[in-house]
Structure 1
Amino acid sequence: MTAHPSREPRTRGRPPAADPARVTAAALRLLDEVGLDALTMRKLATAVGVQVGTLYSYFPTKRALLTAMAESMLAGCRDAAEGVTGPRERVVALAKSLRVALLSYRDGARVYAGTHATGPNTLGYAEALNGALREAGLDASAAMKTSFLVLHFATGHVLEEQAAIQSAPELSAEIAGLRQALRQGDYPHLAEAHDHLTGMDLGELFEEGLRLLTAELP
């Protein structure tokens, strides 16, 4: 009887059309195309080329999908602190990197807000931010509270920025209405500063907010 060499078992069927990483990447692409409100599991399933049930086997709820998307958006954010020596400068660099990451996706701040990812991008970023604050002299409790303040400031600021981008077509009329309300009402301080109120550079405002948040750090 002739012996035959052992063979590797055959894999039956086609490889899966999707996996969590591919679904997350497709969701981010679809987010840029249609926005968060129109991002549905059914549309995502069509974009990926699978049945809706397949998506739910990876992400049982839309919130789980958004958490995975938030985790993916933070890829590389902690790298902003590499090579930055001063702890305050590292905090500022990390905050700026979060803003850039969220602005890189349509409705990025809305996706990120309220999520609690436990992946390496999110936890690595939080570790870098807390590490810089601890090095600046804050204890564990104060560092965590300050971390949340930085995260909430950056997220909230980007929410406003992205809302302004989406409302740009109506912005001129809204500014005209605001100026008229200031002229007709008893708002002397707002009226005096109306040019700054309606013509603020949001990038400069973010920088100023970071300066105030980190003013007491060395």
Structure 2
Amino acid sequence: MSSPSSPTRGRPPRLDRARTVQTALDLLDQSGLDALTMRRLADAMNVQAGALYRYFATKQDLLTAMAERMMDGVADAAAEARGGDWGEKLAALARAMRTALLAHRDGARVFAGTHATGANTLGFADTVVGVMRAAGFPDDDAARALHTMANFTVGHTLEEQAALQPRDQGPADPGLLADAVTAGTYPHLKASLPTLTSTDFTRLFEFGLDLLIEGLKARH
């Protein structure tokens, strides 16, 4: 048994990159991106803030690593898609990406500000481009389809997560939009108000995803 004066007693767990990223994701889920600082992360890991810079030169480097972790396994969605149709595979990949971002508070905000080049992110991108090339799309269109699908998915999820924030942190109450439309002369908005103020984000996402895939099919 170690004596009370043993230098190992009370020593925090060894700092490593994987544990640092996981702790950062845990803090993200607890308090959101705005509250995630290197100092707060260091406190949660019981280390000095300077120790984190051994793995991450800047907070942006940390966010990039977090984005990469969030994409773990997302590329597998193509192989798990029902049927072999390229449209179904592309839809499955987009849905899996949205699910991965929604799994963490402010996940889309983290991902949108990074340019990860790890195996998870590049593997996902390579899978999307591969699906499109196998379907007969030329290389440039396959790459543009990747950009379009990823931008749509991230943009939608950004808005979705913003709308789901607590009212004192998120955007204005949808009721304010309804009041403004009803009080003004906006007949077209008034007719579609139930949809405009709906919180059925999955239905909205699927509508946009369907438009994207049908557009690609028309171009094919």
Unaligned runs of 5+ in 1: 1-12
1:31 aligns with 2:28: yes
Distance 2:23 2:199 in 1: 35
Q: Look up the equivalent residue of 2:98 and give its one-letter code.
A: R
1:185 aligns with 2:184: yes
% identical equivalent positions:
50
The Cα of 1:125 is off from its aligned counterpart by 0.6
- Equivalent residue for 2:133? 134
Distance 2:25 2:169 in 1: 27
Unaligned runs of 5+ in 2: 1-7
Count of residue pairs brought into register by the alignment: 206
- Equivalent residue for 2:115? 116
1:82 aligns with 2:108: no
- Equivalent residue for 2:61? 64
Q: If the length of structure 1 is used for normalisation, what is the TM-score?
A: 0.88
Runs of 4+ in 1 over 6 A off after TM superposition: 13-16
Q: Deviations over 1:172-213 (max 9, x none)?
A: x82332222112222110011111211251101111111110
Q: Look up the equivalent residue of 2:79 and give its one-letter code.
A: E
Q: If the length of structure 2 is used for normalisation, what is the TM-score?
A: 0.87
Distance 2:125 2:99 in 1: 16
Q: Is the 8 A contact 1:17 1:49 kept in 2?
A: no
SS, match of residue 112 in structure 1: helix
Q: Deviations over 1:136-175 (max 9, x none)?
A: 221111111110110011001111111111045798x823
Q: Look up the equivalent residue of 2:90 and give its one-letter code.
A: V
Bigger CA radius of gyration = 1
Distance 1:50 1:127 in 2: 38
The residue correspondences of 1:147-166 to structure 2 (distance < 5 A) are: 147-166=146-165
User: Given the superposition, is the C-alpha separation of residues 98 and 53 from structure 1 closer, same or farther in structure 2, using an over 3 Å criterion?
Assistant: same
- Equivalent residue for 1:210? 209
User: Given the superposition, is the C-alpha separation of residues 134 and 188 from structure 1 closer, same or farther in structure 2, using an over 3 Å criterion?
Assistant: same
